[in-house]
Structure 1
Amino acid sequence: MQTATVPFRAPAPIPHTKPLGFAGFVWTASRNPIEIWGSRAFKEPWLRANWLSVPTIIVNDPKAIRALLVDNARNYAMQPLRQRVLRPMLRDGLLTAEGELWKRTRKSLAPVFTPRNIHALAPAMAERSRLFAEGLESLPDGRADIAFQMTLLTYDILQATLFSNDITGEPKEFAEAMELFLKRMGRVDPLDILDAPAFLPRIGRLLGQRSTNYFRGVIAGTMERRRRLMETDPQAAPNDFLTMLLKAEGLSASEIEDNIITFIGAGHETTARALGWTLYLLSQAPEEREKVEAEIDALLPGLPDPATWLDSLHHTRAAFEEAMRLYPPAPSLNRTALEADRVGDMDIPAGASVLVMPWLVHRHELLWENPLDFVPSRFLPGNRESIDRFQYLPFGVGPRVCIGSSFAMQEGVIALALLMRRLRFDYVGEKPPYPVQKITVQPRGGLPMRVSRR
């Protein structure tokens, strides 16, 4: 009789059972925000607290999430803390824009992210992933930090699909500036948590200002060179995201620049983290890895168009989606109530902070069976349909749902398929990786892995 395999339990901070206290909360939230949550946050449909005299409501119930962020979305603006952290770097990009600016930007960008345009980018995603897999195979000692390597891969894909590898300046300097920019972006300063005035300097942002200025300068130069090419020789301009953005109506040059920065910060980083966590989790669940490898070996030769892989490789996609459940790319959705509201038996006063935390919702005991375990079968056809739309939020929800979600899903499945078709990844760290929340959920110390040819 065959013994059932015990699912792998994904590493995560242990919820605390005692209050952190004021100083402990500030220190924890600035160091690793996902450590602030106590055990009740994973058991209750909603919680209420106060922070600096502001009512704070944490919402875990899917029906309430829909009521707040879809049915009455106009009543909930972006939370000031979130804006204090992200807006200095992203400025008027779609992730931080509000009001009429957000509406105009979303409308202008919608034609860029049509399924037709996303599918047209699949061959470039596949080619960069294939070449990257070949490069990993030739590592000198067969070992690498896969968390870092996945940032290189998604950067390579971004270069090919956004810029067609046509960047002004030195590519190495640009990559280094981008890496430092991403390290600084999303880092919560204690002064932000304490709602200190904006004129007080945030040291982390000051340290990253030089690289941010260089980063933005290269993007502005690349935009200008492409614009001149489109004017002088339209047929020579690549049909990539940059060209499509420059053709979009209703966006100024600075707004296009801000949105390119946002795509790099929100898109490149989030997909890289999801890929790294997926490879780690599969390395700890050999039976699940075998299912993905068998599927890739059996189906990929008969699927020449990589745009079809997302809908054909069910086990590969399920592993990717389950990794994003356990380590959500965007672990928090923070809003402020503009007017008083009532949802179910929750009274929400005007000015209250309303927090929908995918980190909590995705691991909630009322919503998932064995929520801490890596179980990709949850997302296979026949099971996926039973998951409430508002209990799985890897790309947000409502009007502000991530506009690039189709791009990210297609990129993730294509990259996984081509990496795992050729290679096997085995975790070799001395300790399990520890998740830390920045703008994404990252593994502290990286993901050291042995990479070998299958």
Structure 2
Amino acid sequence: MDMRLEPFVPPAPIPRTIPPSRLQIIRTVLDNPLELWGVPSYTLPWIETRFFKERTLIVNDPGLIRHVLVDNARNYEMSEIRQLILRPILRDGLLTAEGEVWKRSRKAMAPVFTPRHAKGFAGQMLRKSEEYAEKYAGAGEGKVFDISVDMTELTFAILSETLFSGEIVTESKDFSDDVDSLLHRMGRVDPMDLLRAPPWVPRFTRIGGKRVLGKFREIVAKTMALRQRKMRDDPDRVPQDFLTLLLALEGPDGLTMEEIEDNILTFIGAGHETTARALAWTLYCVANTPQVRERMEAEIDQVLSTGADPVEWLDRMPWVRAAFEEALRLYPPAPSLNRAAIADDEWQSPDGRSVKINAGVTVLIMPWTLHRHELYWEKPRAFMPERFLPENRDSISRFQYLPFGVGPRVCIGATFAMQEAVIALAVLMSRHRFDLTPETKPWPVQKLTTQPRDGLPMRVSPRLRP
């Protein structure tokens, strides 16, 4: 008899067995798009459908994903509905820019996020994680914290220190609330988006977010002005960081001041948000799997006892990394990647089936369904970090696991985020235990990122070592 424990299955919508009505589609898209998808989205390699009279191809097949995002990426632009949602927030930031603007921005920022450069941030990531861990040490035994909020604060502190040398002009105590408000109000689908109304038509669901967006823009303007004064008045003492690099690129052959502002806003508002959500989900899943937590703690203790440099932790803590990657699989921060075909296209599968993609067709590649797909994963709804241990990684196709996207628009900060996550988890779990409470009943909702509705309360206690 197999006496192994059944793996933990964290909360997620059950695939629909009956197609939703048009009214149900509208309500679900406006409230939580993760609840929209039916059984075919989790069992078929692709689905051709119509969504509000718009032809849509939902893609899960790794080969077809490679075709759209890599091999023929030039034929696929950002979908209209995605841009209607994101461009009002980020304008020409790296996530929303296209064409020459995107090429210039990507080329300009690439040097900061090379693996070699990212490793240089390890010491700062460690210091900020240790400082944040003191918050729990001084709070007393077993106090309950909203870990979703806390991880946003921690990753903001790391981002501010590493990319902006601590010179973002804002009070971080309210920052996580502002981020949540911005994404809730501005980063959601409005009925006018579904109807493809032009950008100048008011989106009433976003009216409440304009004040927060204005606050973010003010933060960026003040941060830029402060650094520009330092570059002008005391150039020898200017930090050579991401902020200085961007400002130095202003000019006819580089970026405009508006593009620089958009990219700073992108990284302040969204650059830490994805990592924060994944960290919170990791701690929640680990709290539900004592055997995984024990392996992680033993690994952390062993590595820390050697005095290993934090730059080595990503490679020397495979269980910590695997737990984070499994949380990214189950709760991908970017749950959908939306494209639209520019010209007619065709792809043929290895078994000879052909997929025709006409110009104008919307292509939905959804990590949310892909990562839970029955064709590509064993027990796809279960939390099983061992999938990502070094000895098992070769069985995972590059195009079936897309937490950072893939192709020309792959997340520029992927290495940065992975290193940050492992360091943060190692520091927090070396000192504290994160446990469930009766109120710990998270439900994933899509607000640009995959977030726990109503937060993620957890009890934090000092870790007792044997």
TM category, shorter: over 0.9
2:160 counterpart SS class: helix
2:296 counterpart SS class: helix
C-alpha displacement at 1:451, in angstroms? 0.3
Who is 2:386 aligned against?
A: 377
Give me the whole-angstrom Cα distance separating, in 1, the residues matched to 2:118 and 2:185: 29
Give me the whole-angstrom Cα distance separating, in 1, the residues matched to 2:270 and 2:218: 19
Residues 164-218 of structure 1: CA deviation (Å, up to 9, x unaligned) = 2223365556665445324334211122122223232112322121221122122
Aligned AA for 2:75? N
Moved more, 159-168 or 328-337: 159-168
Aligned AA for 1:358? P
Aligned AA for 2:300? I
Who is 2:191 aligned against?
A: 190
Runs of 4+ deviating beyond 6 Å: none
Who is 1:284 aligned against?
A: 288
Who is 1:311 aligned against?
A: 315
Who is 1:443 aligned against?
A: 452
Which of 337, 341, 344 aligns to 1:337? It is 341
C-alpha displacement at 1:142, in angstroms? 1.1
Give me the whole-angstrom Cα distance separating, in 2, the residues matched to 1:279 and 1:286: 11
Who is 1:164 aligned against?
A: 165
Q: Is the 8 A contact 2:440 2:458 kept in 1?
A: no
TM-score by length of 1: 0.96
Give me the whole-angstrom Cα distance separating, in 1, the residues matched to 2:175 and 2:440: 33
C-alpha displacement at 1:435, in angstroms? 0.5
Who is 2:83 aligned against?
A: 83
Give me the whole-angstrom Cα distance separating, in 2, the residues matched to 1:340 and 1:217: 43
Give me the whole-angstrom Cα distance separating, in 2, the residues matched to 1:379 and 1:168: 39
Who is 1:417 aligned against?
A: 426
Give me the whole-angstrom Cα distance separating, in 2, the residues matched to 1:67 and 1:209: 38
| Structure 1: tracts of 5 or more residues without a match | none
Give me the whole-angstrom Cα distance separating, in 2, the residues matched to 1:277 and 1:175: 16
2:111 counterpart SS class: helix
Give me the whole-angstrom Cα distance separating, in 1, the residues matched to 2:273 and 2:438: 22
1:56 paired to 2:56: yes
Q: Is the 8 A contact 2:299 2:317 kept in 1?
A: yes
C-alpha displacement at 1:3, in angstroms? 2.6
Q: Is the 8 A contact 1:303 1:309 kept in 2?
A: no
- Check 1:349–1:311 CA distance in 2 against 1; reply closer, same or farther (3 A cut): same
Aligned AA for 1:331? P
Aligned AA for 1:440? T
1:320 paired to 2:320: no
Q: Is the 8 A contact 2:335 2:366 kept in 1?
A: yes
Moved more, 244-253 or 282-291: 244-253
Q: Is the 8 A contact 1:333 1:357 kept in 2?
A: yes
Matches within 5 A, 1:236-275: 236-248=237-249, 250-275=254-279
Moved more, 176-185 or 142-151: 176-185
Please report the RMSD computed on the Cα atoms of aligned residues, expressed in angstroms: 1.7
Aligned AA for 1:184? R
Who is 1:136 aligned against?
A: 136
C-alpha displacement at 1:431, in angstroms? 5.8
Who is 2:214 aligned against?
A: 213
What is the percent sequence identity of the aligned residues?
Answer: 56
Q: Is the 8 A contact 1:267 1:408 kept in 2?
A: no
Which of 294, 297, 305 aligns to 2:298? It is 294
Give me the whole-angstrom Cα distance separating, in 1, the residues matched to 2:248 and 2:200: 37
Q: Is the 8 A contact 1:342 1:348 kept in 2?
A: yes
Which of 351, 360, 364 aligns to 1:355? It is 364
Q: Is the 8 A contact 1:65 1:356 kept in 2?
A: yes
Moved more, 109-118 or 175-184: 175-184
1:8 counterpart SS class: coil
Give me the whole-angstrom Cα distance separating, in 2, the residues matched to 1:436 and 1:173: 22
Q: Is the 8 A contact 2:47 2:59 kept in 1?
A: yes
- Check 1:182–1:157 CA distance in 2 against 1; reply closer, same or farther (3 A cut): farther
